[in-house]
Structure 1
Amino acid sequence: MKKLLLILAAMLFTGAMQAQVEINDVDVESEEEEEETTEVRAEDEIDFTDKDGNEEIIEFPAAMTYDLDSLMNLYMSKTYLATPGDCQMTNENPEYPKEVYIERLQRIPSVMELSYNDIVQRFIDRYAGRLRYSVSYMLGTFNFYVPIFEEALEAYQIPLELKYLPVIESALNPKAVSRVGAGGLWQFMPATAKQYGLTINSLVDERRDPVKASYAAAHLLKDLYQIFGDWNLVIAAYNCGPQNIKKAIQRHRAARGRTDDEAMTAEDKDYWQLYPYLPAETRGYVPAFIAANYIMTYYCEHNICPMRTKLPMQTDTVVVNKNIHLGQIAGALNIDIEQLRALNPEYRHDVVPGTTKPSAIKMTISDISNFIDHQDSVFNYRTSDFLTNRAVVDVNDDLPTFSRSRRGAYSRRSGRGSRSQRNARLRRGRNSGGGGGGTSVTIRKGQTLSEIAKRNGTTVAKLRKLNGIKGNNIQAGKKLKVR
């Protein structure tokens, strides 16, 4: 069975079980810091009131806010996914007593702690309710990727339930890019990706390669486990970085009056005890992961039907040692270029840089045979149209007929004009605040008050006072005074 699943993957892309836990309710150090770590757009967050009546805002992982239409427009979705056949999808989401959720989480075969509490319940409700059609899509898409994920995780002896991390990281979109620059199925930041052997340059982004990125992610998860020794802290560190987890541990220990000389306790590595000291998105990250494990296991109990996966054609790779454009292959061999792009998402501009180093191209078996039989004509197909970077160029040495003095005068005039224009632009920038004489910025999509405050050396409280804002909601495209 495993061999069959691995073949399917190649066709596309060559138990500690715990019950309910209580969240440690500890005040964070300062009100302003709390604002800066929890502020996001309203549609990206949930308001939560704990058992003691304390209110907080919890951020959703970015993948829980993706538009389903954009996912369905991916080539693999349009080509190899179909609406469920014998399963009738409805909008009815049954509600169960919390004891049912606790018991179901305990039944999932896991070496990780998949605990239940009210926050986990809110994330389960989100997946089973508003995101139920996205879950249907991901259940179908997951068939493409699960053999790749499991093989990479097993290679590093990582719990297989971590195969659901890409569900909350990217919604299983290999081309997903976050607003902070994380990319691919596993949402690697560029520096971390390079640290774990993934190539990123103007032509190639191996974060998009499902196989290479999965092995890099498994390696990173292994390293994080060697640091923290707890899988919930590992996935929290995967989200916000190990330094933020270490800071949370230090703050928790300080709140308990523990010194650096005292040994670490189990409580010091308990995600739910560290919860109040974590960044806002990370507070929602582990609950989202637990909810993803739940919904990908118990989707039938919530009337969610997986999209049907159609069997794709078998693929393999061919290695080239000189540059070639996917458009050359598509044109010369009469292949759908969208298929080539879907099979080779790591090539950012359709250029395979074989001259830099031998590079692999994924194609169907029949197309590879055709490529090998006609590779000379493929490499020569409309080369000047597709590969426009010239290796050698001639310099135009036809000198203008006007005199040297005139050339010099022209250059000086041009230079004075350029400096004048630059000075005018600088003056306009300094006075962009309008009649108030202050400085304003234009709010970009996805920005928060916290981000704008940090960029401009001010605080959220000052921005609110200066602009008469109550709450956290700001609108992209509007001007915001920062001075």
Structure 2
Amino acid sequence: MRKIIFITFILISSMLNTVLAQSVDSLSVVTLKDTISDNNLVIIESLESENDSILSNWYLQKFTNIDSSCITSSHNVDFPDSVYIDRLSKLPTLIDMPYNSIVKQYISLYAENRRKLVESMLGFGNYYFPIFEEALEKEELPLELKYMPVIESALRPNAVSRVGAAGLWQIMPKTAKSLGLEVNSLVDDRRSPIKSSEAAVKYLKELYNIYNDWSLAIAAYNCGPGNVNKAIVRSGGKRDFWGIYHHLPRETRGYVPAFIAANYIMNYYEEHNICPVAAEIPLATDTIIINERINLQQISAVLNTPIEMLRELNPQYRNDIIPGNIKPYHLRLPVQLIYAYINSQDSISKYRQEYFARQNTIEPAKLEYGYHKIRNGESLSTIARKYHTTVSKLKELNGLKNSNIRAGKSIKVPGAGISYSSASGTGTAKSHKVKSGDTLGSIASRYGVSVSRLKSANGLNSNLIRVGQVLKIPSK
């Protein structure tokens, strides 16, 4: 009898210990996510500085104003921790939104240091958020995930990270191709708001199915499931973001806190005296199928529509070329221009046909690049002019976040694959046969002559040249 009582006592004690252990473990997780701190936080890339590219966006330059019903100020209002905790708890989200000192750092960064950026993102959110929501609804995922592009790209479809991730959702080339996105020199679906959103949402769903935890899935989106799995192992098997926090790559640790802060600031911006900029990007748009090779500049000229607007609505066409002769492609236009395009289709195709036929000969596999050694006094602007490209293209090619460059360094430039730093003009050739990727700038640099002299020697009225054309090279 005593033996039975003793065994029963042991079993009850064991059960109580298990329950207590689970309670302590649960309590430790709650305590950890609420009290965790990081004195060496690495700020996520999209927030390292005020983003010049979004603030110089064409829409923001041409059509901006602040909602008169919103009270704006240059000063942030800080609140006690209890207020932030209460506000986060009231957000209608499925994903857990805890508050701690790391989350507070990101809220302060948005509300204090990146106010102009937040104003811009709120304005562009009117256009992009419905696209994200539609993709999320289709896969039955939490709608608060629509704020991931806020921390990924600051809502810039042409954003390119230091490691080559691109688009609103910052998708890497390898991941993009595995998700069925087209990525080449003419078309980059990572920049398409609709296609990239559909792909990113499917990828997020795959990650959630792996971890059954949204914070871990969001972290894995940033650093890859391999790194999250390593962090889980190093933490002793914990499957909670805050439990593996210090085992994650440094740049990923701030990712979930930034996501929570983005959810906060996008919902409580008025409480911090921030007002949305009214970016008049056309909210009512539609698409038409393009079955011919066409240039956005042809459409712009015939429809009398700003080329910048067409580029904003169709950022996936990297060189303004829609290669519809290869396969059908979509063109997005404001709804009021759809019928105008259909009625003017023949005129658009014929507009400066020969001119654009030469421009449209760039093939994805044949674009090559050279390198330019930066000299004292040179800037990205002067280099861009020299090689007949743009500052944004140079920044994209070289993964530059800003326009700061140093003399003595080499940067990649569009060209024919020659080393421009050594093309000092020692060539003695009397003629040059244009190869794929050649520009007047690269040829002039190669032979040590100016573009204007090269044009004069060949009777050219513009900088357009075609593959196979033979150019006379003037003497130096």
Q: TM-score, normalised by structure 2?
A: 0.67
Show the counterpart of 2:332: 362
| 1:477 matched to 2:447 | no
| Deviations, residues 262-287 of structure 1 (Å, cap 9, x unaligned) | xx6xxx11101101100011111111
| Equivalent residues, number | 343
Show the counterpart of 2:196: 213
CA 1:98–1:349: 2 relative to 1, 3 Å: same
Q: Which amino acid aligns with 2:297?
A: G
Separation (CA, whole Å) in 2 of partners of 1:370 and 1:478? 50
Show the counterpart of 1:421: none
Q: Which amino acid aligns with 1:98?
A: D
Shift in Å at residue 169 of structure 1? Answer: 0.5
CA 1:67–1:95: 2 relative to 1, 3 Å: closer
Separation (CA, whole Å) in 2 of partners of 1:243 and 1:478? 39
Within a 5 Å distance, the mapping from 1:36-435 to structure 2 comes to 50=37, 56-253=39-236, 268-310=238-280, 312=282, 314-388=284-358
Aligned residues of 2:188 and 2:317 also touching (Cα < 8 A): yes
SS of 1:345 mapped into structure 2: coil
SS of 2:332 mapped into structure 1: strand
| Deviations, residues 217-255 of structure 1 (Å, cap 9, x unaligned) | 1100000001111000011001101100001011111xx
SS of 1:327 mapped into structure 2: helix
Q: Which moved more, 1:335-344 or 1:172-181?
A: 335-344
Q: Which amino acid aligns with 2:250?
A: A
Aligned residues of 2:136 and 2:142 also touching (Cα < 8 A): yes
CA 1:212–1:311: 2 relative to 1, 3 Å: closer
Aligned residues of 1:152 and 1:218 also touching (Cα < 8 A): yes
Q: TM-score, normalised by structure 1?
A: 0.66
Aligned residues of 2:60 and 2:279 also touching (Cα < 8 A): no
CA 1:479–1:324: 2 relative to 1, 3 Å: closer
Shift in Å at residue 333 of structure 1? Answer: 2.9
Show the counterpart of 1:449: none
Q: Which amino acid aligns with 2:321?
A: V
Show the counterpart of 2:381: none
Aligned residues of 1:148 and 1:210 also touching (Cα < 8 A): yes
Shift in Å at residue 386 of structure 1? Answer: 1.4
Aligned residues of 2:291 and 2:329 also touching (Cα < 8 A): yes
CA 1:294–1:333: 2 relative to 1, 3 Å: closer
Aligned residues of 2:127 and 2:283 also touching (Cα < 8 A): no
Aligned residues of 2:59 and 2:280 also touching (Cα < 8 A): no
Separation (CA, whole Å) in 2 of partners of 1:311 and 1:320? 22
SS of 1:59 mapped into structure 2: coil
Separation (CA, whole Å) in 2 of partners of 1:80 and 1:232? 37
Q: Which moved more, 1:366-375 or 1:111-120?
A: 366-375
Separation (CA, whole Å) in 1 of partners of 2:283 and 2:41? 43
Aligned residues of 1:21 and 1:117 also touching (Cα < 8 A): no
CA 1:311–1:347: 2 relative to 1, 3 Å: closer
> What are the ranges of 5 or more consecutive residues in structure 2 without an aligned counterpart?
1-27, 362-394, 397-403, 410-476
SS of 2:156 mapped into structure 1: coil
Show the counterpart of 2:440: none
Shift in Å at residue 66 of structure 1? Answer: 4.3
Shift in Å at residue 24 of structure 1? Answer: 10
Shift in Å at residue 310 of structure 1? Answer: 4.1
Shift in Å at residue 102 of structure 1? Answer: 1.1
SS of 1:58 mapped into structure 2: coil
Q: Which moved more, 1:352-361 or 1:61-70?
A: 61-70
Separation (CA, whole Å) in 2 of partners of 1:347 and 1:162? 26
Shift in Å at residue 478 of structure 1? Answer: 8.1
Separation (CA, whole Å) in 2 of partners of 1:350 and 1:390? 9
> What are the ranges of 5 or more consecutive residues in structure 1 without an aligned counterpart?
1-17, 26-48, 254-263, 392-444, 447-474
Q: Which amino acid aligns with 1:93?
A: N
CA 1:66–1:216: 2 relative to 1, 3 Å: farther
Q: Which amino acid aligns with 1:203?
A: L
Separation (CA, whole Å) in 2 of partners of 1:94 and 1:246? 40
Q: Which amino acid aligns with 1:339?
A: M
Aligned residues of 1:184 and 1:208 also touching (Cα < 8 A): yes
Separation (CA, whole Å) in 2 of partners of 1:225 and 1:390? 42
Structure number with greater CO (CA < 8 Å, separation at least 6) is 1
Shift in Å at residue 199 of structure 1? Answer: 0.7
SS of 1:269 mapped into structure 2: coil
Aligned residues of 1:20 and 1:102 also touching (Cα < 8 A): no
Shift in Å at residue 476 of structure 1? Answer: 6.6
Aligned residues of 1:121 and 1:291 also touching (Cα < 8 A): yes
Separation (CA, whole Å) in 1 of partners of 2:230 and 2:81? 33
Separation (CA, whole Å) in 2 of partners of 1:479 and 1:338? 34
